[in-house]
């Protein structure tokens, strides 16, 4: 969920990056010693098999050699916690939010899904005000 949140923010919180030829062997990517700290997030771009968000030390990458970019990220704790909350919201309301129906009724039961200014039909709307703080245009 964190990767989806960062993508929607258009903000990866990049600290540093390296470009060139990278080798992933034994499930781990060869990066300079100390470049990433334990638990730090990093993003791979240009890989066939491993593009995306990862956490150091990554040991589950698929072996390959690629020319691309690796970015060291400094994702604020508040953003990772918000991504957890969004994941919980998505688990609870995601199926209902994805429904093509805005209202439904049967056997005396009815509901109307909130949309637009009255509510949110997805997590982006539900957490808009909290996410806007970190959004990049």
pLDDT tens digits for 66-79?
Answer: 999 999 999 999 99
Q: What is the distance between the alpha carbons of residues 122 and 15, in angstroms, rounded to a whole number?
A: 30
What is the percent of the chain with per-residue pLDDT over 90, rounded to a whole number? 78
pLDDT tens digits for 14-49?
Answer: 999 999 999 999 999 999 999 999 999 999 999 999
Torsion sign (Cα): 93, 97, 99, 103: positive
**Identity of the highest mean pLDDT range in 50-64, 87-101, 110-124:** 50-64
Give which of 1, 50, 41 is closest to 17, Cα–Cα: 41
């Amino acid at each position: 969920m964190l990767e989806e949140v960062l993508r929607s923010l258009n903000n990866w919180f990049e600290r540093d990056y390296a470009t060139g030829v990278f080798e992933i062997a034994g499930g781990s990517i060869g990066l300079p010693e100390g470049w990433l700290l334990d638990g730090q997030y990093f993003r791979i771009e240009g890989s066939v098999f491993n593009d995306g968000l990862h956490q150091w030390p990554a040991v589950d990458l698929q072996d390959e050699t690629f020319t691309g970019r690796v970015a060291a990220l400094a994702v604020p704790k508040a953003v990772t916690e918000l991504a957890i909350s969004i994941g919980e919201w998505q688990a609870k309301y995601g199926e209902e939010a994805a429904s093509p129906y805005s209202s439904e009724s049967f056997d005396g039961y009815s509901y109307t899904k909130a949309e637009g200014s009255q509510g949110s039909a997805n997590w982006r709307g539900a957490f808009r005000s909290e996410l806007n703080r970190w959004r990049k245009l």
